[in-house]
């Protein structure tokens, strides 16, 4: 399912909203999650999961174009997702 399909499903399933409103809801949700992660906070949706930002520390590597050359891969902030109980149970088929 892509974003357009999600918007269409949300508009169909939630009574009283159209596609434009559904799109705005999805955009506000994703923008809020991104802003919180950039600020180093977690976003938890109980039962579904937790979005976190973590730092992947710098490390040594090998230049793939010149295998004899060692390079330093800089540290970077990455997004992580930890599944919640209800999502885990649904995927296991017990819910």
pTM: 0.79
Residue 18 is classified by DSSP as -
For 56-70, the pLDDT digits (tens) are: 999 999 999 999 999
Contact 76, 55 (CB under 8 A): yes
User: For residue 94, what pLDDT band results from cuts at 50, 70 and 90?
Assistant: confident
80 φ, ψ (degrees, to nearest 5): -130, 155
Mean per-residue pLDDT, 22-48: 95
Q: Does 95 have pLDDT greater than 70?
A: no
Mean per-residue pLDDT, 10-24: 94
């Amino acid at each position: 399912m892509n974003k357009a399909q999600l918007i269409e499903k949300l508009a169909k399933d939630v009574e009283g909203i159209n596609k434009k409103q559904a799109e705005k809801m999805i955009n506000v949700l994703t923008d809020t999650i991104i802003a919180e992660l950039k600020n180093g906070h977690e976003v938890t949706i109980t039962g579904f999961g937790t979005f976190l930002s973590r730092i992947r520390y710098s490390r040594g590597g090998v230049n793939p174009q010149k295998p004899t050359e060692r390079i330093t891969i800089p540290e970077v902030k990455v997004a992580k997702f930890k599944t919640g109980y209800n999502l885990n149970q649904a995927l296991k088929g017990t819910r």
